[in-house]
Chains A and B, each alone.
Chain A
Amino acid sequence: MSELEAQLFTPQRVKDDFPLLQQTVHEKPLVYLDSGATSQKPQQVIDAVNQYYTLDNANVHRGIYDLSQRATAAFEAARQGVRNFIHAKHNHEIIFTRGTTEAINLVAHSFGDMFVNAGDEIIISAMEHHSNIVPWQMLCERKGAHLKIIQVTDEGCLDMTHFQSLINSRTKLVSVIHASNVLGTINPVEEIVAAAKAHDIPVLLDGAQAVSHLPVDVCALDCDFYVFSAHKLYGPTGTGVLYGKEKWLNAMPPYQGGGDMIRRVTFEKTEYNVPPYKFEAGTPNMAGVIGLGAAIDYVNRLGLDNIAQHESALLSYATSELEKISGLRIIGTATEKVGVISFTMDCAHPHDIATILDSEGIAIRAGHHCAMPLIERFGVPATARISLAVYNQKQDIDRLVIALNKVKNLFE
């Protein structure tokens, strides 16, 4: 990005791209601090989806007419966009799914069925989202394999010594979250991959909370699988990505059977298509994929470095402002964090905090954030969580702090 373009990155201009954020809630301007659950969508993404349905809709990879070819070209251009975005080697290493969850389930089934056997072990961590716990638990139950859990330190980091001690000849896969949706911790994924590679163990990284905040290069990381969702990356819901190294995708059996994943069908035998189509049975979420392509274009235009810098400054500001509130405890104090702050308050339960903040027009999450084992690890029943995105501004944090003081006034 040129210096001139970098100067164009102004928080207010960015916020103006998001029509939803222009509204009031309970007669107060909306402050949206729940982007970790789902991000809002810029007009550019809404327009792309709208244009697809208005002008370009036809089934992809099927029609020989102009419209279908146009839809197919837009769909495959989005695949190219995703490939460039995460620096994959080949377009066919990018598989479109319904989301992060389906991408992990796909690997748990296809990779798991082929390469995991009774007595084998899969390593995950104590800071995983349920979507990176349950599919592996189900696989272990099917196969008689075992789940091994990397412990989390009091600061909210992975205990890397413990991780090393879990690796052995029975380990078949390591699957860990890149950035924690609860703690914000950015995990040392380079180190994790290197440690696993030393024993020829493949690694899956769950990038759902990472891709909108920091640049990802799957080749440099040398991970085997990388998964994320469009809807946390300013794109539409119902669309996600599985990146898989070519060698695995060639070896793995299909996940679902249906149209598009076949080359030739007879009642005696079906010949499967090549990746990525082998893993994309049925008519895909075409509008979602095209919307994801537009979201990536949008992020690229702003520049991930600019986004990271903006969010990091905001995170520091929010952290220091929240630390000033007595009786407020931040959970997750790693040095490397994305813009996520989980906290509890002595005077009020997270649900009560969230209700009071809502009455001030501020949207935050309260609960276990789909990571019950992690919440239990920190000995709390639930946390309140703010999660930042590119459209948040300093004023949002100031409004938050005022509202949290109202919580204190009401409950103390």
Chain B
Amino acid sequence: MSELRELYQELIIDHGRSPRNFGKLDTANHIKEGYNPLCGDKITIYLQTENGIVTDVKFEGEGCAISMASASLMTQVLKGKSVDDVQALFRHFHTLVTDTDEKEGHEALGKLKVLQGVAEFPARVKCATLCWHTIVAALKNDDQPVSTE
């Protein structure tokens, strides 16, 4: 039960239930859909960048508490970051949610650290990373919808 508490922390349940930055962004210059065909999680990322800086980001979608909370927290963290930072943060975040040995040194991730519990649940990694795969693809202006498969 303790691992479960670690996964479903208050902050995750809160963001899962009432995601922040949820909705369309009319000023977006990158829009991307992501899909996890295995479980049916769907997400659309609306991203606005100016001179290589993320000036605004919102999302819409449906999915489990982990996927919604992860997207919600991601949008909060990314505002004001550079496009290069997004890539670096994703790599770091990926380690956070997959590597159970690497428990320390995640301070740079800020509140994203709350998702560390996912590492104990390999089946749920895709839920936590769908929004990240989608935003990275959005930045590449790739036409294909993103799939976690």
Interface residues of A (CB under 8 A from B): 348-352, 355-356, 359, 366-368, 372, 375, 381-382, 410-411
B42: chain A residues within 8 A (beta carbon): 381
Query: Given contacts A351-B127, A359-B4, are A381 and B41 in contact (CB under 8 A)?
Result: yes
B123: chain A residues within 8 A (beta carbon): 355
Q: CA of A349 to CA of B61 in the docked complex: distance in angstroms?
A: 13
Taking a contact as CB atoms closer than 8 A, the residue among A349, A356, A368 that contacts B63 in the complex is A349
Q: Does B79 contact A (CB under 8 A)?
A: no
- Evaluate contact between B65 and A349: CB separation under 8 angstroms: yes
Q: Does B139 contact A (CB under 8 A)?
A: no
Taking a contact as CB atoms closer than 8 A, the residue among B1, B4, B40, B65 that contacts A348 in the complex is B65
Q: CA of A348 to CA of B67 in the docked complex: distance in angstroms?
A: 12
- Evaluate contact between B13 and A355: CB separation under 8 angstroms: no
Measured as residues with beta carbon below 8 angstroms from the partner, the interface class of chain B is 20 to 34
By Cβ-Cβ distance, the 7 closest A-B pairs, closest first, are: A349-B64, A351-B64, A382-B40, A381-B40, A359-B4, A367-B39, A381-B62
Interface residues of B (CB under 8 A from A): 1, 3-4, 7-8, 13, 16-17, 38-42, 62-66, 121, 123-124, 127
B3: chain A residues within 8 A (beta carbon): 359
- Evaluate contact between B1 and A359: CB separation under 8 angstroms: yes
- Evaluate contact between A411 and B40: CB separation under 8 angstroms: no
A366: chain B residues within 8 A (beta carbon): 39
A359: chain B residues within 8 A (beta carbon): 1, 3-4
Q: CA of A359 to CA of B1 in the docked complex: distance in angstroms?
A: 7
Taking a contact as CB atoms closer than 8 A, the residue among B13, B39, B41 that contacts A411 in the complex is B13
Q: CA of A356 to CA of B124 in the docked complex: distance in angstroms?
A: 12
Q: CA of A348 to CA of B7 in the docked complex: distance in angstroms?
A: 14
Chain B nearest Cβ from A60, distance in angstroms: 37
Q: CA of A367 to CA of B65 in the docked complex: distance in angstroms?
A: 14
Taking a contact as CB atoms closer than 8 A, the residue among B1, B13, B39 that contacts A351 in the complex is B39
> Can you name the residue of chain B whose Cβ is closest to the Cβ of A354?
B123
Q: CA of A239 to CA of B121 in the docked complex: distance in angstroms?
A: 31
A368: chain B residues within 8 A (beta carbon): 39-40
Chain B nearest Cβ from A239, distance in angstroms: 25
B7: chain A residues within 8 A (beta carbon): 355
Given contacts A348-B65, A368-B40, 4 further A-B contacts (CB under 8 A): A351-B39, A355-B4, A367-B40, A382-B39
Q: CA of A410 to CA of B1 in the docked complex: distance in angstroms?
A: 11
Q: CA of A368 to CA of B3 in the docked complex: distance in angstroms?
A: 26
Chain B nearest Cβ from A281, distance in angstroms: 30
> Can you name the residue of chain B whose Cβ is closest to the Cβ of A348?
B65
> Can you name the residue of chain A whose Cβ is closest to the Cβ of B42?
A381
Chain A nearest Cβ from B102, distance in angstroms: 22
Q: CA of A410 to CA of B64 in the docked complex: distance in angstroms?
A: 14
> Can you name the residue of chain A whose Cβ is closest to the Cβ of B124?
A355
- Evaluate contact between B124 and A410: CB separation under 8 angstroms: no
- Evaluate contact between B40 and A352: CB separation under 8 angstroms: no
Q: CA of A332 to CA of B3 in the docked complex: distance in angstroms?
A: 34
A348: chain B residues within 8 A (beta carbon): 65
- Evaluate contact between B4 and A381: CB separation under 8 angstroms: no
- Evaluate contact between B1 and A350: CB separation under 8 angstroms: no
Query: Given contacts A351-B127, A375-B40, A382-B40, are A411 and B65 in contact (CB under 8 A)?
Result: yes
Chain B nearest Cβ from A131, distance in angstroms: 16
- Evaluate contact between B39 and A352: CB separation under 8 angstroms: no
Q: What are 17 A-B interface contacts by the 8 Å CB criterion?
A: A351-B39, A351-B41, A351-B66, A355-B121, A355-B123, A355-B124, A356-B8, A366-B39, A367-B38, A367-B40, A368-B40, A372-B40, A381-B41, A381-B42, A381-B62, A410-B8, A411-B13
Q: CA of A356 to CA of B64 in the docked complex: distance in angstroms?
A: 12
B41: chain A residues within 8 A (beta carbon): 351, 381
- Evaluate contact between B62 and A352: CB separation under 8 angstroms: no
Q: CA of A63 to CA of B63 in the docked complex: distance in angstroms?
A: 56
Q: CA of A366 to CA of B64 in the docked complex: distance in angstroms?
A: 11
Q: CA of A359 to CA of B16 in the docked complex: distance in angstroms?
A: 20
B121: chain A residues within 8 A (beta carbon): 355
Taking a contact as CB atoms closer than 8 A, the residue among A350, A372, A375 that contacts B64 in the complex is A350
Chain B nearest Cβ from A395, distance in angstroms: 20
Interface centre among A350, A352, A366, A382 (most CB of B within 10 A): A352
Q: CA of A411 to CA of B13 in the docked complex: distance in angstroms?
A: 7
A355: chain B residues within 8 A (beta carbon): 4, 7, 121, 123-124
Taking a contact as CB atoms closer than 8 A, the residue among A350, A352, A411 that contacts B66 in the complex is A352
